[in-house]
Structure 1
Amino acid sequence: MRRALVAGLVAAALTLSACGSADDDVRRVISDNYELVSQDGDYSTYRSDDSVDTVAAIVEDAATAGRDHQDTTGRYLGYEDTMVHIVPAAGGDGSDIEVTDVRDGYDRWGPVIIPIWGAFGGGYRSGFAGGGSGFGK
Structure 2
Amino acid sequence: MGDSSLAEQAAEVLVRAMSSPDRTAWARVRAAFAALSPKAGKVMAAELDISRNEVVERPRLAEEVTGEWRTRLRRLVEANPGAEQQLRGLVRELGGEQPRPNVRNEVHGDVSGTVIQAGSIHGGVNASRYGGDHVDFSGGTFEGPVTGKEGRG
TM > 0.5 fold call? no
Larger strand percent: 1
TM-score normalized by the length of structure 2: 0.25
Which protein shows a greater Rg?
Answer: 2
TM-score normalized by the length of structure 1: 0.27
Higher relative contact order (CA 8 A, sep 6+): 2
Larger helix percent: 2
